[in-house]
Amino acid sequence: MRGQKFISALCAAAMMGSATGLNAFAENNNAPAPVKKTYNYVALGDSIAAGYGLGKENGLAGDPALVITDKLLANPVQGAYPAILSGKLKELGANYGADVQGTNLASTAYRAADIEKTIRQPGYKGEFAASILESFAGEGTSEVLAPYHDLYLKYLSQADLVSIQLGGNDIVMSIIPEMLEHENPVIRASAMSLMLTLFGTDTETAMGAGLQIIEQSKDSITADTFLEAANYLKNIGAKSEELVQQSADHVKCVVKAVQEVNGETDIALVGMFNPYRTAEGSADVEKDILDVLGPIFAEASDAAAETEELTDAKGEPTEEFTETLNDKVAKVTELKEAFSKLYDYGHMAKVIDTLDSCETLGELKKSIMDLGLEDAETLEAILKQYTDIDELRGILAVIKSGEDVSELPDVAEVVGQFSNSAAPAEAKAFAKEIAGPAAMQLAGKNVDPQIKSLNEKLKVIAKETGALYVDVYNISPETDFDPHPNANGHQEIADIVFASVKDLAAGRMSDDKKVSDVEETPDKKERSLGDVNGDGDIDTTDVTLVAAHVKGKKILDPKDAVYADVDRNGKINITDIIIIAAHVKGKRLITR
C-alpha cells in the first residue's frame, strides 16, 4: 500500500511540475542499456490446445477454456500443453537473455475451417462455438467471439513460433454445424444432443435439449420429416474419407493464412491423436449417443403420427401410420432406383435441387425440360405418377438425405413393432436401428483410420509449406471417454513439441537477426521509448499509464509494454516512471 502511495505521489509531482530528485537519478542513467530480446510463442488449435476439460468441475458453461477473454489471456489454463510449453521456452530463453511470451489462442469448438476464416474475416464467429453459446447462454451471446479476428492478427503478427493443432473437429464434428442449420427439426434436435454429448454433458441434459426442439417443432414433423432424418443419420458415416481430405485442406489453409500474416514465424504443425483409443472409451461414448438419440426418434415418430392424424386414443401411432411409412418407403425406393439408372448420386442431388425448387407440377415439367437432360422424357414419365407436389418434395428430400435408402424398410418396421411398447424399449429400438451408424462414427470406432490418414496428409502439408510436423499420436491412452487429454496427456504433448522445436527456438533466441526485437521491428513512425500509448508524444499520459501498470491497476498490452521499459532491464517499475517523468519536464531527455 505504501508503495502504491509513493507511485501516486511521484506521478502527481511529475504532472504538477515538481521534479525534485529527478535530475540526480536521470544523470546517473547514462550507461547504454542492453538490447532486450523477446520471443513470442502463439498456440492455435481447438478445445484440446485450449485446455478444455481440465476445469470440468465447473461444468460446460463454466469451463475457463470455453471462450477467449482478456482474463484468460492474462491467466491461461496452466495445465494445457501450450502453457506448459511456454514455461519450457521461458527456461530456454533465460539461457539467451530472451524474454519469452506465450499466448494461447486455441479456440474451443473451432474447426480448422473456422480458424482460417477467423484470421481472414473481421468479426467472424465459429459456427459450432456460436451454436453452443447461443444454446446455453441465449441469443446474442456468441458476440463474444467477434473480437477473435483482431486478437489473432495482433499476436500472430509478432510470433516467432506458432503451433497449430487442428483437424479433429473437422472430421468428428464437421457434420454437426450442418445438422444444426438443417430445415428438418428432427435432424436439428439430433445435432443439439450429439454436440452436448461430445462435449461431456450428462445424458439427461443432452437428451433434454434435443427433446425440447422436438416439442417446439412437433406440428411440422411429418412422416416424410421422420424418414428424412432417419435416412440422414443412417448415412452419416459415408463421407469419412471425404471429411479427412477436407480437414487436411482446411489445415493447410490455416498454415497459409498464418504465413500471410507473418512470413517470418516458425510453424509447428502438431498431429492428432485418437481421443477414443480404448475399447472402453469408445463403448462409453457410443452408449451415451444411443441413449440420447433413441428417445429423440421415439418422440419424433409420435409427433409425426399426430401430425398425420394417425394416433389412437392414447396418442400412440396406429397401424395406419405404419402403413403410411411403408407406402412412403416403397415410393422412395422406387424413385431412387429409377434415378440411379439415369444419374450417379452427385448428379442426382443436383437434379433433385432443381426439382425441389418448383412450386407446381407445371413448373416441375418445365424444369425437367430446361435441364437439357438426354433422358428428360424418361424422368418426366417417372414423375407423372405424382399428383401432389408436396408429396413429391417429401420423397425427394428423403432420397437426398443419404445415398443408401436400403435400410428404410427396417425403420418402418421398428415403428410398427414398438409403437405401443414402453418408452424405454421403443427408444432403445430406435437407437439401435437409426442411430447406430452415427454412434459408430462419433464414438471413434471409425475415427482411428481417419486420424492416421489425416496425420499422413499433415506430414505432406508440413513439407510443402516449410512447417515442422510434430507427431503426438502415441501419447498414453486414457481410460475415460472424454475426447480431451487429461493433465498427463497435456504434459506429454508439451514434452514432444518442445523436443521438436527447441533447436529452432534456441537459434532465434541467440541470433539477433531473427529474434522479435523492438529495436528491429519499430512502428512505422519510429516510435520512441517512453511513448507508451503510441501517439507520437511522450507526456503525462504515458507517465500515468506506466504508473497504472506498476500498481497493477491496468496492465499494459505487450506491444505497448516494451516502450514502457525505458531502462531496458526487462522490468517495468518505478525507475521507468521517473525516467519518463524527467523527460516530460525536460530535465533529462530519453534519447533511445
Instruction: Please determine, for residue 521, whether its predicted confidence score (pLDDT) is greater than 50.
Output: no
More confident residue, 255 or 193: 255
Query: Who contacts 109 (Cβ-Cβ below 8 Å, separation ≥6)?
Result: 46, 47, 126, 128, 129, 132, 169, 173, 199
Highest-confidence segment of 28-42, 209-223, 237-251, 275-289: 209-223
Range among 28-37, 134-143, 276-285, 434-443 rated most confident: 134-143
Mean pLDDT of 330-354: 79
Cα 372 to Cα 436: distance, rounded to the nearest angstrom: 40
- CA 130, 131, 134, 140 dihedral sign is positive
Q: How far apart are CA 306 and CA 315, in angstroms?
A: 7
Return the minimum-mean-pLDDT range out of 111-120, 141-150, 230-239, 252-261.
230-239
Among 237-241, 398-402, 521-525, which stretch is predicted with the lowest mean pLDDT?
Answer: 521-525
Q: How far is CA 540 from the centre of its chain?
A: 43
Q: Which amino acid is at 429?
A: A
What local confidence, expressed as pLDDT, does residue 267 receive?
A: 98
Instruction: State yes or no: pLDDT of 86 exceeds 90.
Output: yes
Q: Report which of 406, 410, 412 is spatially closest to residue 340, judged by C-alpha positions.
A: 406
The C-alpha cell at 75 is 491467466
Q: What CATH architecture applies to the domain 37-177+240-279+449-510?
A: 3-Layer(aba) Sandwich (3.40)
Write the burial class of residue 176 (CB in 10 Å: 0-12 exposed, 13-18 middle, 19+ buried): buried
Written as one string, the DSSP assignment of 369-411 is HHTT-TTHHHHHHHHTT---HHHHHHHHHHHHT-S--TTHHHH
pLDDT score of 283:
60
Residue 62, pLDDT score: 62
Closest by Cα among 153, 156, 133, 155 to 144: 133
Give the model's pLDDT for residue 179.
84
pLDDT the model gives residue 311: 87
Q: How far apart are CA 51 and CA 81, in angstroms?
A: 7
> Residue 558: its pLDDT value, please?
72
Helices within 121-201 (DSSP H only): 127-137, 148-156, 168-172, 175-180, 185-198
Q: Of 60, 53, 48, 481, which Cα lies nearest the Cα of 285?
A: 481
pLDDT of residue 238: 67
What would the pLDDT profile of 132-180 be if each residue is shown by its tens digit? Answer: 787 767 788 889 999 999 999 999 999 999 999 998 887 766 677 778 8
Would you state the torsion angle of the CA atoms of residues 254, 258, 260, 263, taken in this order, to the nearest 10 degrees? Answer: -140
Task: Note whether 161 and 269 are within 8 A (CB).
Answer: no
Question: Which residues have CB under 8 Å from 372's CB, separation 6+?
Answer: none
The yes-or-no verdict on residue 40 having pLDDT over 60 is yes
Burial class from Cβ neighbours inside 10 Å (0-12, 13-18, 19+) for residue 382 reads middle
Cα distances (Å, whole numbers) of residue 451 to 275, 435, 474: 10, 22, 12
Q: Which pLDDT score is estimated for 18?
A: 42
Q: What pLDDT score does 482 carry?
A: 64
Domain boundary assignment for the chain = 2-36+518-584, 37-177+240-279+449-510, 197-237+282-442
What is the pLDDT at residue 526? 66
Q: What is the mean pLDDT of residues 404-426?
A: 74
Cα distance between residue 220 and residue 326, in whole Å: 20
Instruction: Say if CB 170 and CB 246 are below 8 A apart.
Output: yes
253 pLDDT band, cuts 50/70/90, is very high
Residues of the chain with pLDDT > 70, as a percent, come to: 79
Tens of pLDDT along 576-591? 888 888 888 776 777 6
pLDDT, position 252 = 97
Q: In what order do the strands lie in the sheet with 266-270?
A: 98-104, 37-45, 161-165, 266-270, 468-470
Instruction: Answer whether residue 456 shows pLDDT above 90.
Output: yes
Average pLDDT value for residue range 352-376: 73
pLDDT at 493 over 90: yes
Neighbouring-strand partners of residue 317: 311
Contact 124, 151 (CB under 8 A): no
At 21, the pLDDT band (50, 70, 90 cuts) reads very low
Sequence-distant (6+) residues with CB within 8 A of 509 are 37, 39, 92, 93, 95, 96, 98, 515
Q: How far apart are CA 269 and CA 454, in angstroms?
A: 12
Closest CA to 90 of 514, 571, 506: 506
* Average pLDDT for 17-34: 43
| Joined grid coordinates for residue 80 | 494445457
Split at pLDDT 50, 70, 90, the class of 37 is confident
For residues 275-300, average pLDDT:
70
Share of the chain above pLDDT 90, in %: 30
Q: Is residue 354 left, alpha or beta, with left meaning phi > 0 and alpha meaning psi from -120 to 50? A: alpha
pLDDT interval class at 513 (50, 70, 90):
very low
Q: According to the model, what pLDDT value does residue 191 have?
A: 86
CA distance 271 to 269: 6
- CA–CA gap between residue 167 and residue 272 (Å, rounded): 8
pLDDT attached to residue 277: 52
- The answer on pLDDT for 261 being more than 50 is yes
Q: What is the mean pLDDT of the chain?
A: 80
| Residues in contact with 552: Cβ distance below 8 Å, sequence separation at least 6, in sequence order | none
**Which residue reads 544523470 in cell numbers?**
27
